[in-house]
Amino acid sequence: MNHTSRTIVAVFTLALVSACSTYTGDSLLRLSEQPSNYNQNRIISKAKDGVTDILDSLGVSDETKTSFAKIAPKNIIRDSEPLKLTHIDNQLVVAGGDTNIAFATNSIIISTGALHISRSGNNIVVCGSDVDISHDGSLGNGSLVISKGKTKIGHAKNTLIYAINGVEISHARNVRAFNTRERKTSWGHINNNLVKPLFHEETAPNKSLQPTGSAGG
């Protein structure tokens, strides 16, 4: 087999493996596609299982896992239209559009559209678009924020970031990033770790996750 043939076979095999792979981030975002009569306890269980898989793949400490494992949604808020909420705590939000939340704590938030939170603490966020948070970690522990778009946070404390289109934070204190190539801060420093992709689109040939350096102040 000549070099060209071997290259074609290798590319084809990689594409086949990628197509058959399951990406936890994509799976969680697809929960918004479940019909309204789908069992709510089953959705909560799937969301919690997905969070467990993500925490395992990120390789975070047992202490961090334990903190997020305490998030136990009591009920679900679901909508396929833009969603605006004042305060959520110990809830699962599954939104099929843009989401705006004033205060969010101890919750799992899944939004296919853009997400804005004014004050956030100890949440698991999985977003199919951009994320904008004014303060994270001001209401208890920091959150895990996962975004297929770009993430912007004013003040972040003990926050974990996974943003494939980059993150911008004004004040970053003890913030870690995963598969986040572009990282900008006005104050503070963000280290980036390369881990197993959570979204299929990260495997595209033009997606390079090699870090380009961190900004610090």
pTM summary value: 0.86
Tens-place pLDDT, residues 67-126: 998 899 999 999 988 999 999 999 999 999 999 999 999 999 999 999 999 999 999 999
Q: Is 173 a member of any domain?
A: yes
- Residues β-bridged to residue 8: none
Q: How many domains does the chain have?
A: 1
Burial class (CB in 10 A: 0-12, 13-18, 19+), 184: middle
Print the domain residue range for 72.
Answer: 22-203
Q: Is 2 a member of any domain?
A: no
Q: Give one DSSP letter per residue of 5-31, joined into a string.
A: HHHHHHHHHHHHHHHH---HHHHHHGG
d(CA 124, CA 43): 15
31's CB contacts (< 8 A; 6+ apart) are 43, 46, 47, 94, 110
Tens-place pLDDT, residues 25-67: 999 999 999 988 889 999 999 999 999 999 999 999 999 999 9
Q: Is 78 a member of any domain?
A: yes
